Structure 1
């Protein structure tokens, strides 16, 4: 068993040093800092594996493996783009991994948190509304709050409270009447996202709610009704808000607006086309032509330099991560913890689908991060927190 656990780490270590060594060699002068970065990443990953496998051996052992590979890829690509940003991302990775381990170690039985429904309700409304009143606009969406000493996206923390609220509210579902309050909170949350022009988050919140309602009720009619309400809301938003019509316009006709509104989409498509199956090599691409390449469009950079085959491997890792998360949901000991696992699983999966679908121009582009890969401290903390909760649920199961 011990040898098997070591063997699980070896491919991660090889990938880490291979990517950072390639970056070090690519520099005009051999960059020893890249190898130091690789060593730091390996130590952190080894420590997380040691804690989970040593003290929580009955939980999901594959979860920590999948969530270790993705930050390695993200930080390596960020280091190739901007070493300063990569160093900051490593710090967020350390904090996120610490949160993940702390949740598994410190949290008691999660079922006792099911009683705090109205605390979650207040947290949801506060964080979802915050940017509407005191936020600032970045890249077209008013979804950032700058407190001077730190800036963050309140909706990222709102997701946590949103999932906890729905899980505590839906755990004792009995009749249609019991869906009234959570339905109002869902509509209010999505409404704030639309007002903030954060269309990606609005879509993610919608699918979280639909998945959790279906998981709680097991009724197809509620699933169809949720999709119907969502479709009606999308049509009303399209009719009422010009920025939504603009996003749809540049999605349908990107080449007509390639020099202005759809410049980012077109440059991303050019980059991915030039990468082909196996890429141009890490450090050999031209990511400087891609706007917002460290966060929203990092997937286009990965495809250009590492190829479509490598990128498809990333999608497989995301799929396996989702599969393990849903597996924990099915084995959970209570409805509350099962709904938590479903909510957080869908949250991460939809974030992947929405941003990659936007980069590939399969759906209208929305500015969100690729989980654990894109630069963004708030997003990384949210995902690690979610995975820590799911790891705890798998341990209890």
Structure 2
């Protein structure tokens, strides 16, 4: 009963945040932009109805996963509406599709334990998706990670590849048992290691360094959780270090990213223009922001996806931006909590894998914007514009919800 009260209280705050943001957006236009308010109401109805369905028919699982995702969706659509109305409408459609898929996963999928036996299927899907953009992709912003069909359809195979990789590694490592002999352990781990290495290699060749970092984070986390052996983690880190040095020597785009990261101001009018403009936006916002609609980010490249967090820092302030990071942490925590409450190893590894995927994706893009690590072009989960990203994140969250329901 107390949990239900907390959920309702938090939902009311989400509705309030949504209506305040879109009402403010409406007042930015003269006369009042009624469509902005309609967008806010539609988003509130979508969030409320989806929570009602999950709470009414599946009351046993974790309801805060959907609520935290809803907060991110509200902030994302509102910020995108501020940037470009058409982009915000498209994002709202993708979020609606994502929430529907989230509910369908909980309703339709049978017991997840029954999917552990499809290891070879997951492996084939992973191996097929990873080089797809390398073979048929179009280069955008220096990375060849998009497949564009006609003028309407475009997607990133690596986004769906993350899902396939987590499912494969979970099924492959779920049967792991501590062996006394190194030879026996090697037989059990060599195939997952090769698949993970192949995936990361494809991302490096596509110049999609952000996805390579995410795949590495997922792989090393699942390896440690499954085996509990630090020697494998240190071995993986050592191989990654060797690979990084080799990549720096072999690929010019890797050297360029490192060069920009080490001294972005030196190349402010050229290669590091994007990151420097992002820093100006963050600095302009200060602690409390300049206010929704008052930012000057028109010259910021790729602002709908890669740099949207810098815009949030400018208009909402760094305190609000840190609050969003806390929401991501809580989303990660609820996912890990789902792993703790289930006794099925396959489900545990899936929960850890998807939680790590969301956390890594968040840390990699925010770390790049603040120049803590080299900037890589990936989306901020749920907030950034991108249909592929939104669908994969809601798929992952739906699986986490399903695991919490089963447990």
Q: Which residue of 1 aligns with 2:87?
A: 85
Q: Which residue of 1 aligns with 2:279?
A: 269
Q: Distance in 1 between matches of 2:143 and 2:395?
A: 25
SS at 1:289's partner residue?
Answer: coil
Q: Distance in 1 between matches of 2:232 and 2:44?
A: 46
Q: Which residue of 2 aligns with 1:155?
A: 158
Q: Which residue of 2 aligns with 1:65?
A: 67
SS at 1:57's partner residue?
Answer: coil
Once the two structures are superposed, residues 103-141 of structure 1 have per-residue CA deviations (whole angstroms, 9 ceiling, x without a partner) of: 001000001100111110111011101001000001100
Q: Distance in 2 between matches of 1:230 and 1:168?
A: 23
Q: Which residue of 2 aligns with 1:123?
A: 125
User: Are positions 1:37 and 2:36 aligned together?
Assistant: no
Q: Distance in 2 between matches of 1:50 and 1:60?
A: 13
User: Are positions 1:201 and 2:203 aligned together?
Assistant: no
**Structure 1 pair 185/3, CA: closer, same or farther in 2 (3 Å)?**
closer
Confirm or deny: 8 A CA contact 1:275 1:307 kept in the other structure.
Answer: yes
User: 1:229: how far off?
Assistant: 1.4
Once the two structures are superposed, residues 237-275 of structure 1 have per-residue CA deviations (whole angstroms, 9 ceiling, x without a partner) of: 111111100000011010110001000000000110010
**Residue number among 55, 58, 68 corresponding to 1:56 in the alignment:** 58
Q: Distance in 1 between matches of 2:235 and 2:401?
A: 32
5 Å-filtered alignment, 1:101-112, equals 101-112=103-114
**Residue number among 163, 166, 181 corresponding to 2:169 in the alignment:** 166
Q: Which residue of 2 aligns with 1:9?
A: 11
Confirm or deny: 8 A CA contact 2:50 2:103 kept in the other structure.
Answer: yes
> TM-score with structure 2 length normalisation?
0.96
> Structure 1: 5+ residue runs without aligned partners?
none
Structure 1 stretches of at least 4 aligned residues deviating more than 3 Å after TM superposition = 1-5
> Structure 2: 5+ residue runs without aligned partners?
178-184
Q: Distance in 2 between matches of 1:3 and 1:73?
A: 24
Q: Distance in 2 between matches of 1:227 and 1:396?
A: 35
Confirm or deny: 8 A CA contact 1:333 1:396 kept in the other structure.
Answer: no
Once the two structures are superposed, residues 327-379 of structure 1 have per-residue CA deviations (whole angstroms, 9 ceiling, x without a partner) of: 11122221111000011000000000000000001100000000000000100
SS at 2:271's partner residue?
Answer: coil
Q: Which residue of 2 aligns with 1:95?
A: 97
SS at 1:324's partner residue?
Answer: helix
Q: Distance in 1 between matches of 2:19 and 2:113?
A: 41
Q: Distance in 2 between matches of 1:308 and 1:146?
A: 36
Q: Distance in 1 between matches of 2:373 and 2:266?
A: 17
Q: Distance in 2 between matches of 1:308 and 1:3?
A: 30
Confirm or deny: 8 A CA contact 1:23 1:282 kept in the other structure.
Answer: yes
> TM-score with structure 1 length normalisation?
0.99
Q: Which residue of 1 aligns with 2:357?
A: 347
Once the two structures are superposed, residues 17-38 of structure 1 have per-residue CA deviations (whole angstroms, 9 ceiling, x without a partner) of: 1111111111132100010000
Q: Distance in 1 between matches of 2:60 and 2:402?
A: 10
Q: Distance in 2 between matches of 1:304 and 1:141?
A: 27
Confirm or deny: 8 A CA contact 1:116 1:168 kept in the other structure.
Answer: yes
User: Are positions 1:296 and 2:306 aligned together?
Assistant: yes
Confirm or deny: 8 A CA contact 2:7 2:64 kept in the other structure.
Answer: no
Confirm or deny: 8 A CA contact 1:66 1:317 kept in the other structure.
Answer: yes
